Structure 1
Amino acid sequence: MRQSDPTEILSPRYIGALIAEGNSIIIVDQKVLRLDAWIPYHPGGHKTIQHVVGKDATDEFTVFHSDNTRASIHRYQIGRIEGRWENVIPPIQGGIYRRLDDSETCPQPTMEQALKDHPEPEQDEDEITFIDAQTKQEIQLTRSTYPAVDSATQDHIIQRYRELHEQIQTEGLYNCNYIAYAWEFARCVALLSAMLIALRWGWYTTSAICLGMFWSQMVFAAHDAGHMGITHNYTIDTLIGMTIAAPIGGLSLGWWKRTHNVHHIITNAPEHDPDNQHLPVFAVNHRFFTSLPSTYHERTMPYNNLARALVPYQAGLYYIILLFGRFNLYIQSWLFLFHAQGPRKGPAKWHRWYEVLGNIIFWLWFGYGLLYRSLPTPGTRITYLLISHMVTMPLHVQFTLSHFAMSTADLGPLESFAQRMLRTTMDVDCPEWLDWFHGGLQFQAVHHLFPRVPRHNLRRAQRLVIGFCRDVGIPYALYGFVGGNCKVVGSLAEVGRQAAVLEKCRGRVTRDVFTREFTSRK
């Protein structure tokens, strides 16, 4: 490859050849960026970048990064493009690219062809037909509901989305309301004080409830900090988030950012989004019945016997399983820290050790100081542990509420960032006085469009987003809290029904095979 010149116009063919050689190339504001040198330092993890390789990631890059980061991209620029860039499938999603000396007839694969690189367990023909039919029906319904995925339509949406972003900035919605955060801080102090007073008086159930509510409220602030939504300074917000997550909550902000950033880029994609990969307990889409490969976990998600037993009943198990959601967060956090999955270089290299120390402090004050030393009996300790963690269940409901019932279809690389976010995310309607309960998570569609907007400004931004949706013809999903829960449970029930039908088909085939073998032996 020739020496790069930041001012040189590069052809799509040449850029494709660079990607074929393993370079991580993205397009931002007509600039061609090679990010291989930055990937080991990226605080959000390498997979976030991998999912935009070969794409015009201008919108994703703009809404996720601070002014300082956006101003530094010239260091990675190797050229420019002219005109419109046609997005292609990133290599992590199965895209195949040609080197300069490869045959010009080598085709760009479809998503279905790309997934053949990850062999799946052999399936019965009836089973494959059933799943394919469900997938085609889902895609047809999605295409009939949302704007066409063609260049002209999506370019119009992109242009209007960028104008919306300018309006968001003009109206000062990126400016944090620190008075609102003072009230949040006061609420958390009140809950923590109530927990300690109730503990001292021996009101252990009350104390456990207050502790669980305190954790939930603190998670909202950690979420804001993880998106640089408080000070907009990477170091300060990260320190705020890690301090809340580790010594106060026993979790890892680094793990959350690694998974959550991928979730924000490729929302609700069954093969790629770790936030909807919950086998064997949940299958949010029928495609999980095929033991899909996960590009995030880099392994197959087996639809095994345990999944076959649980998924048909997942609607009834939904709230029961989420009662124990916090325990799963502990496990995932420690796995992340133990395997050193975060950045090992650059400005985030010290985060792992800060969080390890923070988690040790958490278990010293909560596990030893509170559970062991402050509670009188083993039964009281277990009860306190379970109540304090189960009280956080509404938080886990909110994590899943905005996505589990939304579209999981793949509409191809031409779909704009804005349309995908609105297609895969719902908002929850509630009166303004209840915003403290939801912590900003009720505005997930708005948040996905503008993740760095502070949560206290999301209600104002919602008005602008509704106008944008009306203008470009994208349905805006808005449900009440009860209605949203009904939609999610109904969606889980439908997938569970499909799983039950599939098991009946599989059982029928097994009986037919057994009958044929038995008859032939006679």
Structure 2
Amino acid sequence: MSFRNTRHERRNSMSPEQIQGLVSQGYAIVIMEDTVLKLDTWMKSHPGGEKAILHQVGKDATVEINAFHNPTTRAVMQRYQIGTVQLPWKNLTPPIQTMNLQSSDEADQSLVVDDCEQRVVKDLGFPERPEKRVESDHPASLGRSTTHVVDNGARQPLSHIDVQTRETIDLKCAHYPAVDAGTQKIIIDRYQVLEEELHARGIYDCNYSAYAFEAARCAFLFGLMLVALKHGWLVLSGIFMGFFWQQLVFAAHDAGHNGITHDYRIDSLIAMTIANHLGGLSMGWWKQSHNIHHIVTNEPEHDPDIQHLPFFAISSEFFGSIYSTYYERIMQHTNMSKYFLPYQAYYYYLILALGRFNLYALSWEYLIRGQGPRQGPAWWHRWYEISGQLFFWTWFGYYLVYKGIPTGSGRLVFVLTSHMVTMPLHVQFTLSHFAMDTKNLGPQESFPQKMLRSTMDIDCPPWLDFFHGGLQFQAVHHLFPRLPRHNLRAASKLVQQFCREVEIPYAMYGFVDGNKAVLSRLDEIGGQVAIMEKCRRVLAEAHQS
């Protein structure tokens, strides 16, 4: 088939078989409303990165496209139309998500370890595994398997830990609507009505006066930092510096989602200036990573925001050799991760306190390697960001830290304090996802259900919104990424009503309870690692004897 974009060919009616054939040949085919888009050319200049599109290949991505793009961008996408398709469309699994994640050697090894696990968990007081088999193909029935699960027609043994994980999945999935076309269509239709209501009520309108207050607050914090630094109060100065960065991140986040002016070029300039020139972080890297996170939220193989081996694992899927489609490498469960993970609940806050240093490294890698688009409207972003990095490390690294603080120990105190103070921000974002479901229920699950299943909101009084930046409403934000941050609280009431109507649980925890839920998940996964390692030691000792 020719892909010349003539008016006649754009209106060609295409069969599902034709579209599946194009997808199987490697073309980036995406359905938007009733049109078939071939986005191979656009991917190269897509500011959000190629992978954000690859995770939508073969799917009706109308909801996702509308959530992330304004009408102007959606009109541009229509230029890549090659035909039409009769709705409803049955989603295909995007090819990027179809890698075989477990080698035969690992499967064979699980046969050996399984018997040992059964003995060890019995010694530790865990209940013994009953002997049953899968009776249903519905995702919610996965937890009912205790010895075998059907996967692509082959039966593979499950360890006791796998069984526990699937039982947890069963309990969680049972609370959500079925993943069938009819049910999910009802959810999507009601979600679109909700979005129209948000527009009608003006909740999509930006509150520019709120940004004036935020700018004043940031200037005040920066001034306090300079005053404290002048008097040699390095710890206090570092605290104000960290608070300054924390408040900046919120505005950069809004601009990165085109949520301030809703103009891509203006918001991109605002976001890059705040992130690079004032914060030393790459907005291009953030957008590329963050967009993927929003699309495949909490999926171990695909979401970079939960891929933190060897220090963190929030799913037993990380115990195997998972291929990260984002980093394009196998994430090995190495001896280092086996050593650290049993203690992850104990060093959780410490690692997050040092998280900003990791963001620097990721930003530099992104800019040095030129991982962003090199053509299209974002071709110049890399060079603007590099200039911002040079500016940041000149004013902060050279003048403020090196020239402004006379001693090496003093510089270390100031840098560590200022960076560790930003820890609550990292905690807040992980709270919204680490304790939530990590299961991929397949391509038929709707965008709104997936976002609500994998994301929680954190409850707090309105007067604390400035501290959380309004982003404690992460579930609402994931449903409507371009919604201005200051309006998320107002939108949450309508989202709760929507959840009641479509019978999707709306997860909201208090800040303390949210922390408890995350620590509980980390401790649970860490305990599973400890059991597996004890099994291996038992097997090794038995082999030696």
The residue type paired with residue 142 of structure 1 is K
Partner of 1:52: 56
Q: 1:139–1:411: 8 Å Cα contact kept in structure 2? A: no
The 2-side partners of 1:174 and 1:272 are apart by 30
Q: 1:118–1:293: 8 Å Cα contact kept in structure 2? A: no
Q: 1:157–1:416: 8 Å Cα contact kept in structure 2? A: yes
Q: Segments of 4+ in structure 1 off by > 6 A? A: 117-120
Matched pairs, number? 496
After TM superposition, the score normalised by the length of structure 2 is 0.89
Q: Identify the match of residue 534 of structure 2 among 486, 496, 504.
A: 504
The residue type paired with residue 18 of structure 1 is L
Q: Identify the match of residue 198 of structure 1 among 208, 216, 228.
A: 228
The residue type paired with residue 115 of structure 1 is N
Asked if residue 181 in structure 1 is aligned to residue 200 in structure 2, the reply is: no
Q: Identify the match of residue 63 of structure 1 among 63, 67, 92.
A: 67
Partner of 1:93: 97
The residue type paired with residue 340 of structure 2 is L
Partner of 1:255: 285
Partner of 2:448: 418
1:169 is displaced (CA, Å) by 1.0
Q: 2:101–2:323: 8 Å Cα contact kept in structure 1? A: no
Cα distance change, pair 508–117 in 1 and its aligned pair in 2 (3 A) = closer
Correspondence list, 1:317-328, <5 A? 317-328=347-358
Q: Identify the match of residue 264 of structure 2 among 234, 241, 247.
A: 234
Partner of 1:79: 83
Q: 2:36–2:84: 8 Å Cα contact kept in structure 1? A: yes
Partner of 2:475: 445
Partner of 2:170: 140
The 2-side partners of 1:38 and 1:441 are apart by 31
Q: 1:312–1:499: 8 Å Cα contact kept in structure 2? A: yes
Asked if residue 16 in structure 1 is aligned to residue 54 in structure 2, the reply is: no
Partner of 2:100: 115
The residue type paired with residue 492 of structure 1 is L
The residue type paired with residue 59 of structure 2 is K
The residue type paired with residue 56 of structure 1 is D
The 2-side partners of 1:142 and 1:501 are apart by 24
Q: Identify the match of residue 30 of structure 1 among 24, 34, 41.
A: 34
The 2-side partners of 1:510 and 1:148 are apart by 44
Cα distance change, pair 499–365 in 1 and its aligned pair in 2 (3 A) = same
Q: 2:221–2:243: 8 Å Cα contact kept in structure 1? A: yes
The 2-side partners of 1:118 and 1:21 are apart by 25
Secondary structure at the residue paired with 1:72? helix
The 2-side partners of 1:150 and 1:446 are apart by 24
Q: 2:294–2:478: 8 Å Cα contact kept in structure 1? A: yes
Residues 133-190 of structure 1, C-alpha deviation per residue, up to 9 Å, x if partnerless? 2442233223211111111111111111111111111111111000111111111011
The 1-side partners of 2:494 and 2:510 are apart by 19
The 1-side partners of 2:418 and 2:69 are apart by 35
Partner of 1:169: 199
The residue type paired with residue 70 of structure 1 is R
The 1-side partners of 2:242 and 2:65 are apart by 35
Asked if residue 124 in structure 1 is aligned to residue 154 in structure 2, the reply is: no
The 2-side partners of 1:256 and 1:147 are apart by 32
1:361 is displaced (CA, Å) by 1.2
Q: Identify the match of residue 328 of structure 2 among 298, 316, 341.
A: 298
The 1-side partners of 2:328 and 2:469 are apart by 33
Partner of 2:399: 369
1:119 is displaced (CA, Å) by 7.4
Residues 63-116 of structure 1, C-alpha deviation per residue, up to 9 Å, x if partnerless? 10012101222201111111210011000001xxxxxxxxxxxxxxxxxxx425
Q: 1:134–1:286: 8 Å Cα contact kept in structure 2? A: no
Between 268-277 and 197-206, report the one with greater CA deviation: 197-206
Secondary structure at the residue paired with 2:397? helix
The 2-side partners of 1:137 and 1:261 are apart by 31
Partner of 2:497: 467
The 1-side partners of 2:105 and 2:349 are apart by 31
The 2-side partners of 1:356 and 1:138 are apart by 46
Asked if residue 278 in structure 1 is aligned to residue 308 in structure 2, the reply is: yes
Seq. identity, %: 56
Question: Which structure 1 residue ranges, 5 or more long, are not aligned?
Answer: 95-113, 516-522
Question: Which structure 2 residue ranges, 5 or more long, are not aligned?
Answer: 115-157
Partner of 2:466: 436
Q: 1:120–1:290: 8 Å Cα contact kept in structure 2? A: no
Residues 250-272 of structure 1, C-alpha deviation per residue, up to 9 Å, x if partnerless? 11000000100000000000000
Partner of 1:356: 386
The 2-side partners of 1:514 and 1:162 are apart by 63
The 2-side partners of 1:34 and 1:440 are apart by 37
Partner of 2:238: 208
